């Protein structure tokens, strides 16, 4: 048998949308961040973010919810990670691979949180297999490569995902590969085929996977023919 896939993580903070796709059994987790939550109408600062994240975590439990820190200060990341993970057992914390100026402290924080605080970390903002490999070595539960941005830079993200899959398998790493920054429906199946464990998708891409114009035409024909049979 081949390697089992995890599935699609829905990238949103909208409770109603999450409930809709969760009820269909289509998602295997949710990712969000303060920017997404504010766009979804969350107010009252961290109190509002905490309330919404707890609601989402309860809704999808035991599936994971990834929530991102909002600082690159070492002490601040540690404090926020502990606070976020304390909201629910199924919350894991997103931390970028390094700081905005290339500061190297983040992986030390990742290692500390995973190994000493028993907090599951999703390392994000990565653009290469080599970055993801080092994040996995640091102990990250999830390593997130931003496939859409890799493609935008003129590189084939599928090659990076395949390379990363081979490297993690060779090292027998338990880290899960997440591919995000998804731009097209096609990206989702391509990245799974390339070796991703998880692909993140915004709601309209998930809808795009389901709805096909020829399916709509076929269903209309079925219903029209069925109506004629009942006359």
**What's the pLDDT score for residue 34?**
81
User: Does residue 2 have a pLDDT over 90?
Assistant: no
pTM: 0.94
Identify the three-state secondary structure at position 210: helix
Domain ranges within the chain, ordered by starting residue: 7-229
**Per-residue pLDDT averaged across 125-129, rounded?**
98
Between the alpha carbon of residue 131 and those of residues 15, 28, 128, 211, the distances in Å are: 33, 25, 5, 36
Which residues are CB-contacts of 93 (< 8 A; sequence separation ≥ 6)?
66, 67, 68, 69, 80, 81, 84, 85, 113, 119, 120, 121, 122
Question: 144-166, pLDDT tens digit by residue?
Answer: 999 999 999 999 999 999 999 99
> Among residues of the chain, what percentage have pLDDT more than 70?
98
Instruction: Enumerate the β-bridge partners of residue 177.
Output: 143
**What's the pLDDT score for residue 35?**
84
Beta-strand ranges (E) seen in the chain are: 7-11, 27-32, 65-68, 91-96, 121-126, 142-146, 176-180, 198-201
> Which fold would CATH assign to domain 7-229?
TIM Barrel (3.20.20)
User: Does residue 143 have a pLDDT over 70?
Assistant: yes
Which residues are CB-contacts of 150 (< 8 A; sequence separation ≥ 6)?
127, 128, 156, 157, 160, 181
Contact 95, 66 (CB under 8 A): no
75 flagged as catalytic: no
**What's the pLDDT score for residue 230?**
81
Contact 149, 142 (CB under 8 A): no
Which of 42 and 1 is assigned the larger pLDDT?
42
Give the strand pairing for 65-68 and 27-32: parallel
Give the HSE-up count for residue 187: Cα atoms under 13 Å, Cβ half-sphere: 26
Catalytic residue among 51, 89, 94, 115: 94
Q: How confident is the model at residue 1 (pLDDT cuts 50, 70, 90)?
A: very low
Mean pLDDT of the chain: 95
């Amino acid at each position: 048998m081949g390697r089992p896939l995890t599935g699609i993580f829905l990238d949103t903070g909208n409770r109603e949308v999450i409930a809709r796709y969760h009820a269909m059994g289509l998602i295997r987790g949710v990712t969000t961040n303060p920017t997404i939550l504010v766009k979804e109408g969350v107010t009252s600062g961290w109190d509002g973010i905490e309330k919404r994240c707890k609601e989402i975590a309860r809704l999808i439990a035991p599936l994971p919810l990834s929530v991102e820190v909002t600082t690159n200060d070492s002490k601040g990341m540690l404090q926020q990670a502990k606070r976020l993970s304390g909201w629910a057992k199924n919350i894991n914390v997103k931390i970028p691979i390094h700081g905005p100026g290339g500061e190297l402290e983040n992986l030390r924080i990742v290692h500390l949180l995973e190994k000493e605080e028993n907090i599951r970390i999703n390392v994000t903002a990565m653009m290469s297999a080599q970055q993801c490999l080092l994040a996995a070595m640091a102990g990250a539960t999830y390593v997130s490569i931003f496939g859409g941005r890799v493609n935008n830079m003129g590189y084939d993200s599928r090659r990076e995902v395949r390379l990363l899959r081979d490297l993690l398998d060779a090292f027998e790493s338990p880290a899960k590969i997440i591919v995000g920054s998804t731009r097209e429906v096609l990206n989702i199946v391509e990245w799974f085929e390339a070796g991703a464990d998880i692909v993140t998708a915004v709601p309209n891409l998930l809808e795009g996977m389901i709805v096909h114009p020829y399916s709509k035409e076929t269903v209309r024909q079925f219903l029209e023919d069925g109506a004629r049979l009942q006359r």
